[in-house]
Structure 1
Amino acid sequence: MKTLRAIPLVPFVLFALALPAASHELWIAPSEYQVSSDAPVVVNLRNGQGFEGIDLAWFDKRILRFDRLQNGSVTPVEGRSGDIPAARIETAGDGLIVLVYESAPSTLTYSEWEKFTDFAKHKDLDGTLESHAARALPQTGFKEVYSRYSKALIGAGQAKGQDRAFGLEIEFVALANPYTDPMDQGLPVQVNYRGEPRRDAQIEVFERAPTGAVAISTLRTDDNGQATIPVKPGHEYLLDSVGMREPAPDLAKDKGAVWESLWAAMTFRIPG
């Protein structure tokens, strides 16, 4: 398992995963991935596993950032406290819409050591367990702080445009437009951590067929932090990649956490 020191004395391990119930994926789930330019865009924040979950209400304190990129312009996405769906863009406009969401940090507590070890072993994260032991951390009752960094690609009108890096702590960047570019060779993406490509990072791919059936697979990024996602017409996709590191001292003190996970997600649909 690889580590790095982008934050002084703070190891970082990148992996993709489906954690126990306390740590599900969170993704942006628009009601439609392709809309006419004069139509609204209804946006759900969904939390769950296996590309199935529940819709979350909008709460200002849980959201650090929610933006919309379209035609080179970035504007905030606004919502009202308690609303489900979380947000609504009244007029889609013309061009690719990239939605960018960043959550406020939350915490979970591991009450069973087996859940942590099973997760680490299943994802080949032996270094995490070794670090846990080396730091003389307890096997139960320890906390993890986690943050979400989710993006969605929506085709509005002619859907022209391109995703870009937003400087999120961890994020996916689509290197092609799934609504206008040829997808016969797949969708190329890049995973970044603190603005740098994440090499040899695992990506978990959730693929929903028109029938509703979900297939799950994994692949890894290359030396440029890039990977090509095999895609099929008419299928919806959720990409998930997660990083784990020791939290910075101030965050560890504030949250009482000994681990910090950073969750990157991206959703899109292939026309057809």
Structure 2
Amino acid sequence: MRKKLTLIFALFFTGLFAHEFWLMPSKFRLAVNETIDLRLYVGEDFTGEIWANRIKRLLNLKIHSKSGIRDLTNQAIQSDSLPIPVKFTTEGTHLLSMASKNSFIGLEADKFNDYLEEDGIENIYELRKKNGQINKASREFYSRCAKSIVQVGNKTDDSYKKNTGMPLEIIALKNPYLLKVGQEMQVKVLYKNQPFANKMILAWHKTDTQKTTHQKLRTDKNGVLTLILDKNGYWMISTVHMIELKNNPEADYQSYWGNLTFEL
């Protein structure tokens, strides 16, 4: 009965699931010893709601910098929805990373197929057609792999490009805080530490006053995406990867949602 209710709940809230997830600091550029409010959002077009059930769903939240790794997990799970205050005491470029535990979603066949097409998950869509499962409802585990780059003071370093070891990694190959409008930003996409070639990527942009825009791009044969940063403002790069789960009594698929935010 519990699984049936979970499936019904998931079907009803299908529209809420097929959304981006991102880390949003209250400021991306700050001074040494300044504190920001960090929020975890789920939504679309840089507009969303606070990620629910953080206490149960968060696996870890960390800050990576030249001085080492700060684990914010215990602090973050003190509340389900309040902003997480984070103080930065050292100058440099800092990388925030967040991994979630698995969650479950069940979708009707047509909605699941639409989701696969919209997010460029061609491997599973083609597999369903090949196996005669295109009209079969889905059972899916999914987890989040999110990152954000912030700049403290004027001194920059290479912490922005750290591989944090999450299943799906979007790794910046250039420091966005050394770039100007019109220059290229490059990121490398890894799945289980291997370059992800020809993978569809969404690049989102917004400002405090302008409407959010996005574009669909693809990585090259080495898993590298090149993006022209044509405007100042907030940027988000995201992608989704899914695999088939064989002989799993609870789910047919496992997906990983990768995300990276920064400001130009």
The TM-score, its normalising length taken from structure 2, stands at 0.84
Looking at structure 1, the residues matched to 122 and 54 of structure 2 have their Cα atoms a distance apart, in angstroms, of 37
Q: How many angstroms does 1:53 deviate by?
A: 0.4
1:258 maps to which residue?
A: 252
2:143 maps to which residue?
A: 147
Q: 1:146-169 deviations in whole A, cap 9, x for unaligned? A: 010000001111251222111211
Moved more, 92-101 or 73-82: 73-82
Pair 64,134 (structure 1): closer, same or farther in 2 beyond 3 Å: same
Pair 81,27 (structure 1): closer, same or farther in 2 beyond 3 Å: same
Moved more, 23-32 or 54-63: 54-63
2:263 corresponds to which of 246, 263, 269:
269
Q: 1:157-216 deviations in whole A, cap 9, x for unaligned? A: 125122211121111001111113456422111111111111111110111034231011
Pair 94,85 (structure 1): closer, same or farther in 2 beyond 3 Å: farther
Map of 1:57-76 to 2, 5 A cutoff? 59-76=54-71
Map of 1:8-19 to 2, 5 A cutoff? none
Matched residues, percent identical?
23
Pair 263,127 (structure 1): closer, same or farther in 2 beyond 3 Å: closer
Task: Give RMSD over aligned pairs.
Answer: 2.3
Looking at structure 2, the residues matched to 39 and 264 of structure 1 have their Cα atoms a distance apart, in angstroms, of 28
Q: Which runs of 4+ in 1 moved over 6 A?
A: none
2:199 maps to which residue?
A: 201
Structure 2 portions without partners, runs of 5+ = 1-13
Contact map agreement 2:124 2:243 (CA 8 A) in 1? no
Structure 1 portions without partners, runs of 5+ = 1-18
Contact map agreement 2:203 2:236 (CA 8 A) in 1? yes
Map of 1:239-254 to 2, 5 A cutoff? 239-247=237-245, 249=247, 252-253=248-249
Looking at structure 1, the residues matched to 225 and 104 of structure 2 have their Cα atoms a distance apart, in angstroms, of 30
The TM-score, its normalising length taken from structure 1, stands at 0.82
Which structure shows the bigger proportion of residues in helix conformation?
2
Map of 1:27-176 to 2, 5 A cutoff? 27-56=22-51, 59-77=54-72, 78-111=75-108, 113-122=109-118, 127-135=123-131, 137=133, 139-162=135-158, 163=160, 164-176=162-174
Paired residue type of 2:253: W
SS in 1 for 2:50: strand
Q: How many angstroms does 1:105 deviate by?
A: 0.4
1:24 and 2:22 are equivalent in the alignment: no
Looking at structure 1, the residues matched to 142 and 48 of structure 2 have their Cα atoms a distance apart, in angstroms, of 18
Q: How many angstroms does 1:135 deviate by?
A: 4.6
Aligned length: 247
